[in-house]
Amino acid sequence: MNDGAFITYGGRRLPYRLNVDPNRQSRVAIHVEPNGDVVVDAPQDASETDIQKAVHKRARWVFSQVGKARDRFRHVRLKEYISGEEVLYLGRRYMLKVIIDESRQPVKLKGNQLLVHSSSPDREAIRGKVWAWYRIKARDYFDRRLAEWEKRLPWVQTRPPFCLKEMVKRWGSCTPKGEIILNPHLIKAPRDCIDYVLLHELAHLKYHDHRPEFWKLIDAADPAWRTKKLFLDGSVEALINR
């Protein structure tokens, strides 16, 4: 990890995070996360000169992508958690309806509405209830889909454990020990996009980095994955807004 490195272009500079991966066998790769963060992945034997050459070669592209990402987030409004506001679930849009009473009824979908009963109209109180509901739905849905992928993917012998963690930089990750971490915000995305993220993380059980063989594995299991990734990258500001 290197937090003091920068990419320079046209008199401007951007910080980037360097990940040195001992399991990586392919060349230096540069990624711009949906929120605009820049990450450089390098194999352990890459020299500082190799890294700097790779960074310099793609500097113009990096600044362009970071600019687009920041433009998307510039127009995001903080959710108010009031009746009439839009909420997303499995790619569909619902209307939030806040009911102020003492009934303590659970949050539930009814028709095109998400009903939330609360004794207080306070934003944080409503947000807490909505997010507790999201996390329960995410846990249960991700578990079911992982079970389905386990049956379909020959390299997955045993379904790996998973946990939920809110992240602003990624939809999921796979630890070196084989635990999958999933962003609960992902439950707002369409079902096929969720499946792509699960497939991506399960493929890391076989290849920890993004070598060409990793993407061939993804291609074989889901030839349409690029469309789903493009949708997620373009919708991140709406999906992660809380």
Q: How far is CA 109 from CA 79, 114, 137, 239, in A?
A: 19, 5, 11, 18
Return the pLDDT at 52.
Answer: 86
Integer-rounded Cα radius of gyration of the chain: 20
**pLDDT for residue 115:** 97
Q: Taking a C-beta distance cutoff of 8 angstroms, is the pair 75, 84 a contact?
A: no
34 with 43: CB under 8 angstroms? Answer: no
Taken as a whole, the chain contains a residue count of 242
Give the pLDDT of residue 198: 98
Give ∠ CA 33-190-219 in degrees, rounded to 5: 65
Predicted model pTM: 0.73
**Could you read off the pLDDT tens digit of each residue along the chain, which spans 242 residues?**
344 688 888 888 888 888 887 777 678 888 887 667 888 888 888 888 888 888 888 888 888 888 877 776 665 567 889 999 999 999 999 999 999 999 889 999 999 999 999 999 999 999 999 999 999 999 999 999 999 999 999 999 888 999 999 887 789 999 988 999 999 999 999 999 999 999 999 999 999 888 889 999 999 999 999 999 989 988 887 888 76
Question: How many Cβ atoms sit within 10 Å of the Cβ of residue 43?
Answer: 18
C-beta of residue 156 within 8 angstroms of C-beta of residue 150: yes
Instruction: Locate all alpha helices (DSSP H) within 109-168, ordered by sequence.
Output: 123-152
AA letter at 56: H
What's the pLDDT at 2? 47
